[in-house]
Structure 1
């Protein structure tokens, strides 16, 4: 069996430099060499895609990574693909791939919260879990997955919940799809695969503004129509905004700037017909907002993918 490990940088690939700070330096081969427990029947190939902190990762790199994964999917020798990345935007990269990759070969993202210079680094164990997941027949056809702390999550549900704790990646509402018990991946949850979109790289843009709506938020935080390609709102509760935001959002709608709404709550979805006060979900619908079931950062990824794939309506719908 052949598994390809694609290294992109991040904490899992970091070492302590002369100044005492961690920076990405380790290659894919270095990462694989740090993991005990791989058997002789497993062939591990490595590719160094990049070596940057994940906060530096661009949407163009996400697309290039997705294209590389598709190339490996077309290689009959490759049985699984593991991507190592920093945890800051790992959920966004994994979800971008989930929305743009239509292959059957398992794709598993992983990373680390502690770099190798610290006590009890978690990178080797996470990489082992990711490889074991990529080897598992149960991972085929599920799109992009995230393996962390012996749990395997769907890219569309998982999120980083703690800035420093090892047990940071969680799927708040639906939980993990599987766990690793010793050398066995135990699948317990089935989920529908995310529909993939063909992306035009020339249409990729990062000019999608993501905004968390807060109490008595000033309307100046809403961009003008000439300052963005789309706006994603994480509304309060079931889809509510302060009334003073309505006018600047109307200006965006009148300029045909796509508006996407989700909830800022870690669980649940937007309402469609519970409230009708100014600024309620009825207002969002009147503005023509698309509804997303993902968190703000992934709803922004959805919107970016949609804009590059024929329109936001190719990935989201209006209620």
Structure 2
């Protein structure tokens, strides 16, 4: 096998911060700096380092990630590693998985500890990502694995991974499935292949995603929610600029009973997806009765998000809308998630 060629695309984030004169961490390091901090990389691969942006991932946009997907589509490298902040990694990685159709390893990684702290994890995560990119099992199963997230010596499918803690070094987990591989010493230990049928359904439906942004509201249901935001969206002639809505619902797919009529009106006005506020499904379909039950909401035209986390459901809905899919096509895409 020829020497591995890896294209590193750096977007910013904690992994790329530096302390200013007051000791506060600021964006500053680029892709070359990240690579230079891990001398062992040059023994593993030929690295092409490209700085795309220097922002926290909380400031990234859908358009930014579409541009990254374009770079991945055009690269001549054998693998691509995207470094970024952790705030939105679970969303940006999932969006890349929907958009990227290359049969090369594509990995997102980041850091929880900034470079000024003891045992900063950024260099180790970047090294682990390169090791994963060159591993024979990973390369043999690239299409079956899709885009991966590598954090703290674990490899996750981006459709399943979430940021489960705001600050801890072990912040990333895949609660529904567990990691797909682990790094031990200098080797990758396979643990399982992800179920990707739903991703393939989405990719086929999203063959051409070239439209302008379609903002999607995320409405989180909680105890005694009065529904004022739903009313405001319905009352505004332009729907406050939103083109779709994700409702992070209670339990297996429920909203407070007094909101059931509003939810039905919302579904009639805009494509409205229900996802589990618990962080993933699969949702119920025909267990409970009543005006605000899953049965009633489905009959009212709300789209079921299956096992998707609300954040990922929002990413998928925005991408469907950007691709120009109608409500029926959107429902078919989401139905594949169970």
What does residue 217 of structure 1 align with?
225
What does residue 277 of structure 1 align with?
290
The answer on whether the counterparts of 1:100 and 1:199 sit within 8 Å (CA) in structure 2 is: no
CA deviations on 1:250-281 (whole Å, 9 max, x unpaired) are 222232x1010111113532100000111110
What does residue 333 of structure 2 align with?
315
What does residue 82 of structure 1 align with?
81
1:70 aligns with 2:78: no
What does residue 25 of structure 1 align with?
28
Following TM superposition, where does structure 1 have runs of at least 4 consecutive aligned residues deviating by more than 6 angstroms? none
CA positional deviation for 1:67: 1.2
Give 1:115-264 correspondences, 5 Å limit: 115-139=114-138, 140-141=142-143, 142-193=145-196, 194-195=199-200, 196=203, 197-205=206-214, 207-222=215-230, 223-225=232-234, 226-227=239-240, 228-255=242-269, 257-264=270-277
TM-score by length of 1: 0.94
The answer on whether the counterparts of 1:6 and 1:49 sit within 8 Å (CA) in structure 2 is: yes
Higher helix share: 2
**More off after superposition, 161-170 vs 226-235:** 226-235
Q: CA RMSD in A?
A: 1.6
**More off after superposition, 118-127 vs 223-232:** 223-232
Aligned length in residues: 313
CA deviations on 1:97-134 (whole Å, 9 max, x unpaired) are 01111111110000001111111110000111111111
CA positional deviation for 1:199: 4.2
CA distance in structure 1 between the partners assigned to 2:261 and 2:212 by the alignment: 29
TM-score by length of 2: 0.88
Pair 1:21–1:175, CA change in 2 (3 A): same
CA distance in structure 2 between the partners assigned to 1:24 and 1:137 by the alignment: 35
Where does the alignment leave 5 or more consecutive residues of structure 2 unmatched?
Answer: none
What does residue 99 of structure 2 align with?
100
